Structures are given as structure tokens and as C-alpha cells.
Structure 1
Amino acid sequence: MKGREKIAFYSSPKIQAILIDVKDILKNYRFAENQEIMTLQPIHQDLHMQKILYNKIDEEYKYFFIDFEGDPRLSMEEKKQKYPSEKDFGSFLRSLSYIKFDALLRFIEERFIGKDEYRVPEEFLFSLYFKKAAKITKKDKTLEHFLSLLNYWEGSMKDRFLNEKLEIDVNLISYFTIERALYELDYELLYRPNKLIIPILGLKEIIDRF
């Protein structure tokens, strides 16, 4: 996407409203970012589901992390920098959001869009979050029910991933989750505009929780 189009996107009222709300939320996490005691270490920098392999050995699952090249958009010097492990946790949690919304988009495409319709799944999804209709249709109810199931799955995965045995800073993870979503917004705008709806809705969900 060209520079002028990118500026127009970030200047649009809905995106501006989301970014302003996110900025206010991030202020609440400044204390976590400025902690004097923070363990810094080399991290994955681009952790998501496709970077994790597993194998069942002697009735026990073993997990393996792959592709430690770091964030593909960073220089080699930037990749060598150390970060809190919570940064990887934030990236992984965002990958759950991608799985959820990808499943929802496929569901919409398969169930709601006829072959002769000139509509895209992203339009349905955008309307679900931003354009609440005065009259709730059967499609709306079906979509909201499926979304609630996906939200339950996402929440269950988060609970299993962020278990009490881990020595992690939950507030710091929340901070890096937002940071990752903002990164995704810029990335999708540049390289995959058809996926842009996912970080937008991810940020809106974060805002709605506050």
C-alpha cells in the first residue's frame, strides 16, 4: 500500500478512535514496562502456532519451537537485542486471535455468501463488530453463536497457556499483546490488506475488555 493510502487509512475515523483508545490503555501498562527488575533474554520474536511442532513420545507430548530467525522486519542488529519472555507470550496469544477470526471468515464464506453475491466475508465480520443492526436476523444469531464458541476456545487456550506455574508478568504480556496487534496492523496494511480486519478486530476486543 502506498504512503498516501496508508495515511488515509490511519486517518479514518474508526481507526483513529481505536488508536486513541489503545493509546490510553497503553498508559496503564507503562509501570510494567519500566520495572527495574526485568529478565531480558534472547527470544523468538515471531512466535505463533506454525512455529511450534509436537510429537508424542512414550505417551507424553513433546513440544519443539522452530524458526528462530527473529522478526523478519528487523535488522540483524535489532534481532540480537534481548527482551522479556513476555513479548513472545504476547505474540503467541495474538496468533490465537488469528486462528479464531480465520475460522470465522471461512464459516461466513461457506454458510452466508451465495455464489452470485458480490460480498466478502470481511464485510459480514466488520458489520458484526461495528454496525449493530436494529433488527437481529437469523444469520446474525448464528454468527454470534459461532463467535461465542470461538471465544470460548480462545479463552480456554489462553488459560492453559498462561498457567499459574509459570513465573510471568501478566500485565507485561497484555502490554506486548497490544504492541503485537499494532505491529500486525501495520504489517497487514503493507503486505496483506485482505487480513487487515483481524488486527483491527483484535484491538477492538482489547478495548472492549477495558
Structure 2
Amino acid sequence: MGTIKIKIHQDLHLAQMLTIQSNDKVSFKVIDFEGDPLLSINEKFQKDPIFRDLAGIYSAFHYIKFNALQQYFGNQPNIGIEKYREIYLKFAPSSTPSIKNTNAHEQQLISFTKQWEAFCRNTFLESYILNLKDHQLTFNLDLTSKYYFQGLLTLFRVERLIKEVYYESLFRKANVIIPIIGLFELD
């Protein structure tokens, strides 16, 4: 790949960030540098491409989208979590099962959350690349092409989602569907 490896967070997601606002300026501080809980001590000290952490942030947006919809549909009378999952799969790519009898409101809500996720990912990535350029940190990457950057990121997103399937199957079996759907939704 040719990218420089650095010491990364290894478990970066939005719950590992604090938001600080002062003088009309918002900044983020990253916390909890203990690394990936599934890695050995030796693995935690290895250097990695920046894409591993970026894939964690992308995955966090996916989890927020999924959990927001699950909470909404789970709180609706006569829907419940299982029905929600069926409704959600209706709007996943054509390779996943389709469910009939989904109303227009459900379609709009799911469409909106998918647009929200795409907006968050794109805004985050554009800001990240801009900050790399501003600080003259290229890591041997072509920062002029967002598509090149996204192509490399997609490889690490696949890796991250597979790790999350494994993690969820060990510790939160009810959540294993989230990274599985994430794999179907990769762009």
C-alpha cells in the first residue's frame, strides 16, 4: 500500500471522544488509549496505517444510525425489534432479503438516516484530509484524490466490520446484525 504506519488508537469510535466548546469553537479530544481489547499487549504496541482508526469512526456512524432506528421502531406499538430488523433489511441492498408491507413513513425514516450517515462520513473524511494537508502530514498518500483515499479506507472498513461481527458474537449477540448489515451497505 505504501502508506506510513504510526501508533494509532486501535479502538477509535465516537464514545472515545470528548467534545469541548470554548469561544464559539468546538474541538474534540480523544480519550482511552488502551487499544483494541481483543489484541495482545505486543499487538497493541505495533504501528498501523491511519485507516484502521478511520474505519472505526465510519463504523460508529453506522452503529448510531442503526441504533436510532432500532430505538424508534422498538418504541412503536405493534412493531418491536424483530419487525424493525425486517423493515430495515427491506432497504438494504438487493442482496439482502426483502420484506413486504413497509409504509412510506418507514421508508422516509430509513432513507433519512442513511443520508445522515453518508453526510457524517463525508464531512468527517473531508475534514480529516484537510487537516492532514494543513499539517503537512501525507503519510505517503495521495491526498488530492478523495476517491483514492476512500478506496483504501473501504479495505479497512471491511476488516473492521468483520472484527465487529466477531466481537459482537462474543459479547453482545443481539448486536451482531449491526456489522453484518454494515458489510452489505459498504460503498
Is the pair's TM-score, using the shorter chain for normalization, greater than 0.5?
A: yes
Deviation at 1:140, TM superposition (A): 3.6
Moved more, 73-82 or 155-164: 155-164
Q: Distance in 2 between matches of 1:148 and 1:127?
A: 11
Compute the TM-score of the two structures, normalised by the length of structure 1.
0.72
User: Any runs of at least 4 consecutive aligned residues in structure 1 with deviations exceeding 6 A, and if so which?
Assistant: none
Any idea what the Cα deviations from partners look like across 1:111-147, whole Å, max 9, x if unmatched? Answer: 2536xx79564344345543324x5x3x443222111
Please show how residues 96-175 of structure 1 align to structure 2 within 5 Å. Answer: 96-113=61-78, 119=82, 121-126=84-89, 129=92, 130-133=96-99, 137=101, 139-163=102-126, 164-165=129-130, 166=132, 167=138, 169-175=149-155
Please show how residues 1-210 of structure 1 align to structure 2 within 5 Å. Answer: 35=1, 37-113=2-78, 119=82, 121-126=84-89, 129=92, 130-133=96-99, 137=101, 139-163=102-126, 164-165=129-130, 166=132, 167=138, 169-206=149-186, 209=187
Q: Structure 2: where are the runs of 5+ without partners?
A: 133-137, 144-148
Q: Structure 1: where are the runs of 5+ without partners?
A: 1-34
Q: Distance in 2 between matches of 1:124 and 1:192?
A: 22
Q: What percent identity do the matched residue pairs reach? A: 31
CA contact (8 A) 1:55 1:62 kept: yes
CA contact (8 A) 2:51 2:156 kept: yes
The one-letter amino acid of 1:40's match is: K
The one-letter amino acid of 1:187's match is: Y
Aligned to 2:75, the other structure's residue is in SS state helix
Compared CA separation, residues 193 and 122, structure 1 to 2 (3 A): farther
Aligned to 2:185, the other structure's residue is in SS state helix
Compute the TM-score of the two structures, normalised by the length of structure 2.
0.80
Larger % of helix: which? 1
Backbone CA RMSD of aligned residues: 2.1
CA contact (8 A) 1:53 1:65 kept: yes
CA contact (8 A) 1:52 1:63 kept: yes
